Amino acid sequence: MDAEVKRDGKGRGPTGASERSAVDPFLAMDVLAEATRLEGEGRSIVHMEVGQPGAPAPKAVLDAAREALAGPLGYTEALGRAPLRERIARHYAETYGVEVSPGNVIVTTGSSAGFMLAFLAGFDAGQRIALPSPGYPAYRNILKALDLIPVEIETTAETRWALTPEHLEQVSRDGPIAGVLVASPANPTGTMMEPDALEALIRKAEELGMWFISDEIYHGLVYEGRRAASALETSPDAIVVNSFSKYYCMTGWRVGWMIVPDRLVRPVERLAQNLYISVPDLSQRAALAAFDAREELEAVRAVYAQNRALLRSRLPELGFETILPADGAFYLYADITPFADDSVAFSRALLQEAGVAVTPGPDFDPVGGHRFVRFSLAGQHAAMVEGMERLAHHLGRS
């Protein structure tokens, strides 16, 4: 509402909010707030709306944090503590067979800060950045807040819900595109790009003079023997953004990282110094231990795999005919048109009447999202079983 007033040119003044702050709310968080309110009234709610692991941070991380609390905690280098940067660099050799210098690793306050730094370091106000739709809503909202222009490209089953070199050529005809951002596996779909499709997209982006930003936050969370390829396997010029939030179960610790080419290291360092000085020392010290918690984290992934199998068999039985390919992450993005044509109303009724919280699609796709909801399967298995029972009852299929 405030934003509307601003756009009309009225209401300007020292007490008004800026036009750049008029970004969309995140509906998933609104659903969470309503679900929490209902829980406060004593209702039982199955949470399938939020994209965060139900499991706590691994034991090794908690032990490292306890130990760190005994010593002084202070500011660190803006680019991050050296041992963590070195360990992250080693992760690239171990996981992808790619040599990354610790000097190109930058520790960030979650991948969210990584996007801000990448956008500020790589782009100037008014430049256009290509994004696939459906996609994670914060990309477009951060870009808008920074006076950058998101160019959202609707993807379809024909290209397996991925951007293609042809898409990039097509949107470039309307004016230069300064960068392209993709996530594989993606949110809300869980869909992964085939390795050769990813490689072709990176090569085309670079040929067209675009920064390629690769959100690799769901790496590690892939199923059925798949492997997520890093953009760095194709190009040392890619900007990679990643996080301890998802695979490593550390959402609340606000720690992530990015890998940037040499020419962006100092610009990002200057921005980080001024924007937030450094990432919390405690979280950095704890995150160092996360790489040694493989066994525990794989057990968490096994629960997601079990949840994914349950939903992938149960949802079609209940009448959901189209579910996007969920190769990784912990989501299923399902078409609700067999039941309704407005996913916001559908989600509201499901929450109010059945106590199941899901996220409506318009968060992820303002054009076609009214036909979809996102189920997060990151919770405990028993909760998923209960959620499917309630959904069946709600749809009159039990």
Ligand X SMILES: Cc1ncc(COP(=O)(O)O)c(C=O)c1O
Binding site for ligand X (CB under 6 A): 51, 110-112, 136, 183, 187, 215, 217, 243, 245, 251, 256
DSSP string, 230-293: PGGGT-TT-EEEEESSSTT--GGG--EEEE--HHHHHHHHHHHHHHTSS--HHHHHHHGGGGG-
Count CB neighbours of 1 within 10 A.
6
Q: CB of residue 51 vs ligand X: minimum separation in angstroms? A: 4
Closest approach of Cβ 293 to ligand X, in Å?
17
In angstroms, what is the minimal distance from the CB of 145 to ligand X? 15
When CB distances to ligand X are compared, the closest residue is: 110
Choose among 320, 260, 266, 360: nearest CA to 29.
360
**Minimum CB separation from ligand X for residue 29, in Å?**
11
In whole angstroms, the minimum distance from the beta carbon of 256 to ligand X comes to: 4
How far apart are CB 110 and ligand X at their closest, in Å? Answer: 3
> Nearest to residue 189, comparing CAs of 343, 374, 379, 50?
374
Q: Which is nearer to ligand X, 217 or 232 (CB)?
A: 217
- CA distances, 168 to each of 137, 173, 224 (Å): 20, 9, 30
Other Cβ atoms within 10 Å of 326 Cβ, number: 24
Smaller CB separation from ligand X, 114 or 355: 114
Whole-angstrom CA distances from 139 to 142, 152, 315, 322, 323 are: 5, 10, 29, 26, 23
Distance CA 264, CA 262 (A): 5
Residue 141 or 322 having the CB closest to ligand X: 141
Cα end-to-end span (Å), the chain: 42
- How near is the Cβ of 231 to ligand X at its closest, in Å? 14
Give min distance, CB of 113 to ligand X, in A: 7
CB of 285: closest distance to ligand X in angstroms? Answer: 18
Nearer to ligand X, 51 or 54 (CB): 51
* Nearest Cα residue to 50 out of 382, 362, 359: 359
Distance CA 96, CA 261 (A): 17
Q: Which is nearer to ligand X, 314 or 375 (CB)?
A: 375
Buried b / exposed e across 306-317, counting CB within 10 Å, b at 16+? ebbebbeebbee
Instruction: Report angle CA 293, 138, 333 to the nearest 5 degrees.
Output: 75
Cβ proximity to ligand X: between 190 and 387 the closer is 190
SS3 389: helix
Q: Which of 193, 222, 220 is nearest to 308 (CA)?
A: 222
Q: Closest CB to ligand X among 293 and 354? A: 293
- 188 vs 355 by CB, closer to ligand X: 188
The CA distance from 297 to 206, in Å, is 35
Q: Which is nearer to ligand X, 76 or 111 (CB)?
A: 111
